[in-house]
């Protein structure tokens, strides 16, 4: 991502997180990014375009980091542990991105459909790790697609817990979460 797009990426996340998607304006995003309005429109034709960009880039970063960390791992539980650690750390460190993403899950507008499609791709990554664990007999294989969504939900609610309780020990949160998930879906 070039420098200008990175500035717009950060500014739009901040604006969407603070004001919501509908109340944010292209003028404010340009202002926050420190770029001319024309520069903003050169890169993006609308707020919808910007939203699509930040979701695509944000989720891609998570997927890339998970793939990089897990590429040499053999144990599926360690892969799930890596998913937890990475997602929770990124959620805590980039809370505005996660707030923006989660706030736009519901609705029937194009951006909400696009967000759900991008997240579905991420859930497939999680589902793949769950399948490996099921193939090794470590978890039940009843409905891995739903389990992937539930896994994401448990991670997200653990982040909420960490924010409320100001708990930043990602390793401890991960072990607690993984223990809960494995006992809940384990054999």
Q: What is the pLDDT of residue 147?
A: 92
86 pLDDT more than 90: yes
Where are the domains positioned within the chain? 1-45, 47-185
The span from the CA of 72 to the CA of 76, in Å, is 11
Q: Counting Cβ atoms within 10 Å, is residue 129 exposed (0-12), middle (13-18) or buried (19+)?
A: buried
Measured at the CA of 121, the angle between CA 60 and CA 133, to 5 degrees, comes to 105
Tokens (6 digits) for 43: 């890169």
CA 146, 149, 152, 153 dihedral sign is negative
Q: What is the pLDDT of residue 186?
A: 54
Q: Do domains 1-45 and 47-185 have the same CATH topology?
A: no
Gap between the terminal Cα atoms of the chain? 44
Region 131-154: mean pLDDT is: 92
In CATH terms, 1-45 corresponds, of 3.20.20.80, 2.40.128.30, 2.30.40.10, 1.10.10.60, to 1.10.10.60
Pick the closest to residue 83 from 170, 11, 25 (CA basis): 170
Q: What is the pLDDT of residue 185?
A: 56
Q: What is the pLDDT of residue 91?
A: 87
pTM of the model: 0.87
In CATH terms, 47-185 corresponds, of 1.10.357.10, 1.10.287.950, 3.30.1370.60, 2.60.40.10, to 1.10.357.10
**Hey, which residues does 139 pair with through a beta bridge?**
186
The percent of residues above 70 in pLDDT, for the chain, comes to 98
Q: For residue 106, what are the contacts with CB-CB under 8 A and spacing of at least 6?
A: 112
pLDDT in tens, 151-177: 999 999 998 888 899 877 889 999 998
Pick the closest to residue 168 from 56, 104, 85, 66 (CA basis): 85
């Amino acid at each position: 991502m070039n420098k200008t797009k990175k500035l717009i990426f950060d500014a739009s996340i901040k604006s969407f997180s603070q004001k919501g998607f509908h109340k944010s304006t292209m003028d404010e995003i340009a202002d926050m990014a420190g770029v001319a309005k024309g520069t903003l429109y050169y890169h993006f034709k609308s707020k919808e375009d910007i939203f699509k960009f930040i979701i695509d880039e944000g989720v891609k970063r998570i997927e890339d980091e998970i793939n990089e960390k897990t590429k040499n791992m053999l144990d599926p539980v360690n892969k799930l542990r890596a998913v937890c650690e990475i997602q929770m750390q990124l959620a805590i460190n980039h809370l505005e991105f996660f707030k923006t993403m989660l706030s736009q899950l519901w609705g029937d507008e194009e951006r909400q459909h696009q967000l759900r499609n991008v997240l579905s791709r991420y859930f497939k990554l999680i589902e793949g790790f769950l399948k490996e664990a099921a193939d090794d007999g470590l978890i039940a294989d009843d409905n891995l697609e739903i389990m992937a969504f539930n896994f994401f939900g448990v991670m997200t609610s653990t982040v909420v817990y960490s924010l409320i309780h100001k708990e930043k020990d990602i390793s401890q949160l991960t072990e607690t979460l993984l223990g809960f998930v494995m006992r809940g879906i384990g054999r």
